[in-house]
Amino acid sequence: MTSATLSSDVPVGGQPLATAGAVVVETDSIPRIKIRDIMSAVQFTNRAQATSLEALRVKVNTDRRESSAGTRGYSIARDVASELAKLGLADVGPLPKDAKGFEKKRDMKIRITEAGEELARVIKHDRAQAYSHVLKSMFEVHPYVRRFLLAASKGALLAPVVTSAKQHISPKYISAKTLAEDVAQGRFDLDGLLRTTTDRLERTLSAEEVAEIEAGMQELVSRLMTAAAAEPQSDFARKMLMAINEVVVPAVLRRAGLGFDYNTLRRLSQMGREFQVSWGTSAHPRHDGWLIFATASLAFSDDEQRLAEVRFDNGVRRMAHGFLDRLYETYSLTQEWGLGTVITAWEMRATFCFQNRCAPGVFDHLFSENYGGSETYRIDKDFPPRNKPTHEEPLVIGGREIGLIRISKR
């Protein structure tokens, strides 16, 4: 396996990235499910050797503490069943496309396969190995999973996700009103978008990237002119930002082999976190965007079509030794960057995990064990969280979310 040395002192845009090479036409569908849904479904189906699509729907809803009234959760159950079939874990017939179709196929049988039975046994005795097995299977079955993990293992990636019109497009868009009015007239500050994207990536956009963004934005503005004039401006602005991500993010990640749509990238990032092999965070104080990096060591076959090995070199057991020393080093680094004597818990976690190439759960676990400090270090905490990014998990100690952290030597 080849991987870049991850360091917050090196701009991500300057780290080596995989090149896309020749255009390869391949499609994939990443399921909108959680990996634990697959594990639960395998165990559930294995107990009786077979189950129905309706029973699986109720099981998934129960696991998620959701209501099973009517056909609620049918699409999740359908996607779980589909993934079981793709991974060879169950025999599944044709699946319904909508709720009406589900009504006709509630009683459709889902039968466990030998591979599914074996995975159920592994889950019972070694859950970590079971997750590794499923990840390896998904790597072979899903081209997009394969491309994502290959790219993340070769170096950190920065996705300039647009969440603010003023900060991420142009200072002229100080409100939803100014953005909507511009688009309604067929106008858009493309130069502003290109400048902010360049600044956020800390590198110059290639001619191909600029051309792709220009063409994509021209088509987007033309398509959304009517909506900009007719819809509530705040609603339109949110829609516009999401649509811009579908243009910009694939354009700048295409050279890393990740030119698929933004929503797929989001699902892959979440999947990487579930498997604890990668993490995508917007909380790193030195990078303006989603910083995506490997949190495990992955080894691939020579043709890169098979995931041969997954190693968690920086798990809880290893990182526990000298955790407070590492934490203080991270805090000292943020002071060198001029962040002030107190920093947010999510900035601390993102910086620590990037420096040490570990999963956020490792940090959360060890911080909860060491938040009282030691004879050497004092940790001050402010509990009310302040302006936490919406998709960042809170740091919770004793049932309370931590907002700010300060560390000093006694």
Name beta bridge partners: 396.
401
Neighbours of 192 (CB within 10 A): 17
3-state secondary structure 62-116: HHCCCCCCCCCCHHHHHHHHHHHHHCCCEEECCCCCCHHHHHHHCCCEEEECHHH
User: Angle at the Cα of 348 (from 347 to 352), degrees rounded to 5?
Assistant: 115
What's residue 382's pLDDT?
87
CA distance 123 to 113: 15
The neighbour count for residue 43, using CB atoms within 10 Å, is 18
Number of Cβ within a 10 Å radius of residue 106: 14
pLDDT at 76: 95
pTM comes to: 0.89
Nearest to 320 by CA among 257, 260, 369, 255: 369
pLDDT at 322: 95
For the chain (410 residues), the mean pLDDT of every run of 10, in chain order, is: 34 38 61 93 94 96 95 95 97 94 95 97 96 97 96 96 96 96 97 97 96 97 97 97 97 94 94 96 95 97 96 95 97 94 94 97 96 95 76 87 92
Domains detected in the chain: 1-30+143-267 (no CATH), 35-135 (1.10.10), 316-409 (1.10.10)
- Strand segments (E) across 166-296: 278-281, 290-294
Q: Which ranges in 111-206 belong to alpha helices (H)?
A: 114-125, 127-141, 143-154, 165-168, 176-184, 190-201
Q: Which residues is 279 bridged to in the sheet?
A: 293
- Taking the C-alpha atoms of residue 406 and residue 408, their distance in angstroms, rounded to an integer, is 7
Tell me what pLDDT residue 11 has: 39
